[in-house]
């Protein structure tokens, strides 16, 4: 008896637009995105709006109705826009996906209907997960409304919610049908979220692109001031580096043990749960980058001057390098953040694989971290923290 070797190759493609005013009737991108496979047909659309965004942009439902009516030959609205809470709390709410399943079912959505999701990274993760499991996958058109949603989470292929106190425990890989990053939504984003999302740009520059890193250093003050031209370029370059990685790494669905784009993330995910999500994802990532950069330099992998450049860049942009949760200890005196290493390995299975830095622009995978060295560098970051602010309330 020999085994039959099944092999399936699935090609995935989706456009990512960087635009402004997606719902202005003259802006063709949303229309193009929805009808890109069947330009002749009329397409059934459903809009999911994050509550905070709907409050800040009260004209959205009217703009959606006007856009769909303007393009009535191609688009059809199957229900009123559905407004629901977003933010990290929505990913912690295990009942949230079922609420979306209920409205998808009531609206009679099918696998060729488009669900247009307008909201932050957390809302995209939640609705993406619910949509991926309804009829085994609806077409999701993402309109991310945060920096992090536009430069990282919204352009990738992962969806998920938190469970059992663990980030993204429930989730799936499902490519979006299209992504539209609309710079205008960032106008209402609080300062804290504007800055937090930039941590992912520093991350991807550190491990992938020294020229982008230099560009970030040269524009750090403009980014700290949220100067629109610099922000747009940062978002575009960061998003494209993520897209290139997903398409070119040979492992878009992370079947192996490596998570090269998750530089700084083993500590970050743990810090988010340790602080009960008082820290934003991006803030936790900045601290995680600071820790793993210092570690890389301490073990002789990265030149100390390069490590200083990374820490200075994070600081100039206005990102934190420290939080008291880094120093939190369990009953036996062990640093709690170290538990993040075990959880990081557990999420993927197999051997622990963490990305460190061997140069700016070049990551290096390692399979072991020395807890004594981690603790020493937490102490060093603690000493540097003087004058820094406590993030969150």
Ligand X SMILES: NC(=O)c1ccc[n+]([C@@H]2O[C@H](COP(=O)([O-])OP(=O)(O)OC[C@H]3O[C@@H](n4cnc5c(N)ncnc54)[C@H](O)[C@@H]3O)[C@@H](O)[C@H]2O)c1
Which residues would be at the binding site for ligand X (CB under 6 A)?
Answer: 50, 52-53, 56, 86-88, 91, 119-123, 125, 145-146, 148-149, 152-153, 156, 158, 167, 185, 188-189, 193, 196-197, 281-282
Beta carbon nearer to ligand X, 61 or 359: 61
| Radius of gyration, CA atoms only, the chain | 21
Q: Counting beta carbons within 10 angstroms of the beta carbon of residue 389, is it exposed (0 to 12), middle (13 to 18) or buried (19 or more)? A: exposed
- In the structure encoding, which two tokens stand for residue 300, read together? 């002789």
Q: What is the DSSP letter of 78?
A: -
Spatial distance between the Cα atoms of 179 and 197, rounded to a whole number of angstroms: 17
Beta carbon nearer to ligand X, 170 or 299: 170
Beta carbon nearer to ligand X, 146 or 293: 146
State the nearest-atom distance from the C-beta of 35 to ligand X, in Å.
26
Beta carbon nearer to ligand X, 121 or 264: 121
Beta carbon nearer to ligand X, 193 or 209: 193
Reported as half-sphere exposure (CB side, CA atoms, 13 A), residue 391 has a value of: 29
Judge contact between 239 and 155, C-beta under 8 A: yes
Beta carbon nearer to ligand X, 75 or 206: 206
Judge contact between 141 and 98, C-beta under 8 A: no
Spatial distance between the Cα atoms of 364 and 272, rounded to a whole number of angstroms: 24
State the nearest-atom distance from the C-beta of 304 to ligand X, in Å.
29
State the nearest-atom distance from the C-beta of 93 to ligand X, in Å.
13
SS (H, E, C) 277-317: CCCCHHHHHHHHHHHHHHHHHHCCCCCHHHHHHHHHHHHHH
Q: Tokens 């292929």 label which residue?
A: 157
State the nearest-atom distance from the C-beta of 258 to ligand X, in Å.
15
State the nearest-atom distance from the C-beta of 22 to ligand X, in Å.
12
Q: Tokens 């700084």 label which residue?
A: 264
Beta carbon nearer to ligand X, 186 or 313: 186
Spatial distance between the Cα atoms of 317 and 162, rounded to a whole number of angstroms: 29
State the nearest-atom distance from the C-beta of 267 to ligand X, in Å.
14
Q: What is the DSSP letter of 321?
A: S
State the nearest-atom distance from the C-beta of 336 to ligand X, in Å.
19
Beta carbon nearer to ligand X, 189 or 307: 189
Spatial distance between the Cα atoms of 87 and 188, rounded to a whole number of angstroms: 15
Name the nearest CA neighbour of 199 among 357, 323, 295, 319.
319
Beta carbon nearer to ligand X, 130 or 189: 189
State the nearest-atom distance from the C-beta of 127 to ligand X, in Å.
11
- In the structure encoding, which two tokens stand for residue 120, read together? 């932050």
State the nearest-atom distance from the C-beta of 195 to ligand X, in Å.
11
Please name the helix (run of DSSP H) or strand (run of DSSP E) that holds residue 84, with its range, or none: strand 82-84
Beta carbon nearer to ligand X, 122 or 178: 122
Spatial distance between the Cα atoms of 49 and 143, rounded to a whole number of angstroms: 10
Please name the helix (run of DSSP H) or strand (run of DSSP E) that holds residue 168, with its range, or none: strand 166-173
Distance of alpha carbon 159 from the chain centroid: 10
State the nearest-atom distance from the C-beta of 280 to ligand X, in Å.
6
């Amino acid at each position: 008896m020999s085994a039959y070797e099944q092999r399936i190759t699935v090609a995935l493609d989706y456009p990512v637009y960087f635009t402004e005013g997606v719902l202005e009737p003259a802006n063709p991108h949303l229309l193009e995105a929805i009808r890109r496979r069947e330009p002749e047909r009329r397409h059934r659309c459903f809009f999911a709006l994050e509550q905070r965004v709907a409050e800040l942009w009260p004209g959205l439902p009217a703009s959606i109705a006007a856009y769909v009516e303007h393009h009535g030959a191609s688009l059809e609205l199957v229900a009123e826009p559905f407004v629901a809470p977003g933010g990290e709390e929505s990913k912690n709410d295990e009942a949230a996906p079922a609420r979306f399943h209920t409205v998808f079912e009531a609206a009679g959505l099918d696998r060729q209907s488009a669900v247009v999701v307008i909201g932050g990274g957390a809302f995209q993760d939640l609705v993406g997960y619910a949509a991926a499991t309804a009829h085994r996958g609806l077409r999701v058109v993402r309109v991310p409304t945060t920096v992090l949603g536009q430069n990282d989470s919204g352009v990738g292929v992962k969806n998920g919610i938190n469970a059992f106190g663990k980030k993204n425990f429930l989730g799936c890989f499902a490519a979006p049908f299209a992504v539209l990053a609309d710079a205008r939504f960032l106008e209402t984003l609080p300062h804290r979220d504007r800055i937090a999302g930039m941590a992912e740009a520093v991350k991807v520059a550190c491990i992938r692109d020294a020229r982008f890193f230099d560009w970030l250093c040269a524009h750090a003050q403009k980014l700290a001031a949220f100067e629109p031209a610099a922000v747009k370029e940062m978002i575009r370059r960061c998003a494209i580096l993520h897209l290139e990685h997903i398409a070119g790494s040979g492992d878009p669905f992370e079947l192996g043990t490596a998570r090269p784009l998750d530089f700084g993330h083993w500590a970050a995910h743990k810090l988010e749960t340790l602080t009960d999500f008082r820290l934003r994802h991006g803030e936790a990532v900045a601290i995680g980058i600071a820790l793993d950069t210092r570690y890389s330099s301490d073990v002789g992998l990265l030149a100390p001057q390069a490590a200083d450049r990374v820490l200075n860049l994070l600081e100039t942009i206005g990102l934190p390098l420290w939080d008291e949760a880094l120093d939190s200890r369990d009953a036996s005196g062990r640093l709690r953040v170290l538990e993040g290493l075990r959880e990081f390995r557990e999420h993927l299975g197999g051997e622990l694989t963490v990305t460190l830095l061997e140069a700016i622009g070049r990551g290096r995978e390692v399979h072991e971290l020395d807890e004594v060295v981690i603790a020493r560098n937490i102490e060093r970051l603690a000493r540097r923290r003087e004058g820094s602010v406590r993030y969150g309330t």
